[in-house]
Structure 1
Amino acid sequence: MKIILIGATSGIGRSLAELYASQGHELVVTGRRVTLLEELKNQFPDKLIHPLEMDVAKIDDARKLMDSCEKLLGEIDLIIINAGVGYPKATYEQEINTIDINVRGFVALAQWSYNYFAKKGRGQLVGVSSLASQTGSAYSPEYHASKAFMANYMSGLRMRSAKYNPNVYVTDIRPGYVDTPMTKQNKGMFWVATPEKAARQIANAIVSKRKVVYITKRYIIIATLLKILPEWLLSKLF
């Protein structure tokens, strides 16, 4: 396969890149920290890994870079949008930055990706949202809201595929707690998965062309509870 993996410098994204590279797939890997992307390329010197600097918040530049990825790979089979940001008790500026990356940046890339696959007639778009898409949060309402937007947007794209583009698949990945740099700040985490385990489950879900996947699988229990618990109780938990 020829894959674009957006947000591959650390955590889930890097583990996914390592997994796909070890399987012999050709990848464009993007992120803001180019040094880390170069390290990834050097880790697999005999594989086709193309590092590309991308700031998802700069949406016009990011979309132009997607054009460059298309020219570089020739043809794209899979696009994974893993870029995202979150802050504990964010300032106003941090809340806006969260929306710029998790909402505006995501739409810019997802819209480009879906239109590319629709024109091609086949392909798969994968977005990494979060278990946080299931509810609001007293601590980070902007983060939870941004992930809910991503999940809802992907749901709409799946509806569009059902109506117009049946060979274009859209997979929504909803991780719970994964041991990544972004979650180091969290307290009281449970059922914490390694990035490697998360990557394996995500890759399996992509092959199966699943619509919505919780990572790890047991988090579907929590997702179900979040749908039925009252807001007063959720406010104590989140």
Structure 2
Amino acid sequence: MKIVIIGATTGIGRSLAEFYAAKDHEIAITGRRTGLLEEIKTANTTSKIHIHEMDVSKTEASRAIMDELATLMDGIDLVIINAGVGFGKASYQQEIETVDVNARGFLALANWSYSYFVKKGGGQIVGVSSLASLTGSAYSPEYHATKAFMANYMAGLRMRSSKFKHQIVVTDIRPGFVDTPMTKQNKGMFWVATPEKAAKQIYEAIESKKKVAYITKRYILIAILLKILPEWIIEKFF
């Protein structure tokens, strides 16, 4: 299988890249820090790994890079969009950056992937949103809002694929707390998964072609609560 993993420098994306490389898939990995991507390529000598610098906030450049990768790999079967940012008590400029990466950047790449797979006759798009997509937050409203955008955009793509019989699988991955550089700033985390454990469960969800998967699986219990609890209770924790 030929796979593109967007946002593979650290955390979940890096663990997914290492997981798929170990299974001898041909993969392309992207991120802003190519030195970290080179580490993944150097550590794995059996799989074919392509690396490319990508800043997803530069939407037109990102879409052009996807064109390049599709040609280089002679086709793509699976696109995993993992790139994202989050800040604690963000400034206005950081809120705008969050929208540029998590919403605009995601849309540009998901749209490219869907159009590509329509022409190809099928494929799979995976977006890493978050448990945060289910609620607002007093501390990071911009982050939760962009993750909700991702989740709803993917739901729309699934509906489109079903309605027009495009044979495109769209999988929404919703992690809870995973031990990554971005979550180091969070206090009071619970049920924290390693990136390796998260990657294994994400792989299983992708293989099963799930519509939505909570990572780790126990977070589905929190998801149920978030859907039924009143806002005044949720605001104490989010």
Q: Report TM bin, short chain.
A: over 0.9
Q: Comparing 160-169 with 48-57, which one deviates more in the overlay?
A: 160-169
Q: Match of 2:231?
A: 231
Alignment of 1:121-132 (within 5 A): 121-132=121-132
Are 2:134 and 2:223, in contact at CA under 8 Å, matched by a contact in 1?
A: yes
Amino acid at match of 2:193: A
Secondary structure of the residue aligned to 1:187 is coil
Q: Match of 1:190?
A: 190
Is the counterpart of residue 146 in structure 1 residue 185 in structure 2?
Answer: no
Q: How large is the Cα RMSD of the aligned pairs?
A: 0.6
- Provide the C-alpha distance between the structure 2 equivalents of 1:86 and 1:68, rounded to a whole number of angstroms: 29
- Runs of at least 5 residues in structure 2 that lack an aligned partner in the other structure: none
Q: Match of 1:56?
A: 56
Q: Match of 1:71?
A: 71
- Provide the C-alpha distance between the structure 2 equivalents of 1:77 and 1:139, rounded to a whole number of angstroms: 38
- Provide the C-alpha distance between the structure 1 equivalents of 2:51 and 2:64, rounded to a whole number of angstroms: 15
Shift of 1:46: 2.9
Measured against aligned partners, the alpha-carbon deviations of 1:104-152 in whole angstroms (never above 9, x if no partner) come to: 0000000000111111111000000000000000000000000000000
Shift of 1:165: 2.9
Secondary structure of the residue aligned to 1:236 is coil
Amino acid at match of 2:165: N
Is the counterpart of residue 208 in structure 1 residue 208 in structure 2?
Answer: yes
Give TM-score scaled by structure 1 length.
0.99
Measured against aligned partners, the alpha-carbon deviations of 1:72-108 in whole angstroms (never above 9, x if no partner) come to: 1101110000000000000000000000000000000
- Runs of at least 5 residues in structure 1 that lack an aligned partner in the other structure: none
Is the counterpart of residue 16 in structure 1 residue 1 in structure 2?
Answer: no
Q: Match of 1:102?
A: 102
Amino acid at match of 1:179: D
Alignment of 1:214-225 (within 5 A): 214-225=214-225
Are 2:118 and 2:166, in contact at CA under 8 Å, matched by a contact in 1?
A: no
Amino acid at match of 1:57: S
Shift of 1:166: 4.6
- Provide the C-alpha distance between the structure 2 equivalents of 1:102 and 1:68, rounded to a whole number of angstroms: 22
Q: Match of 2:89?
A: 89
Are 1:118 and 1:165, in contact at CA under 8 Å, matched by a contact in 2?
A: no
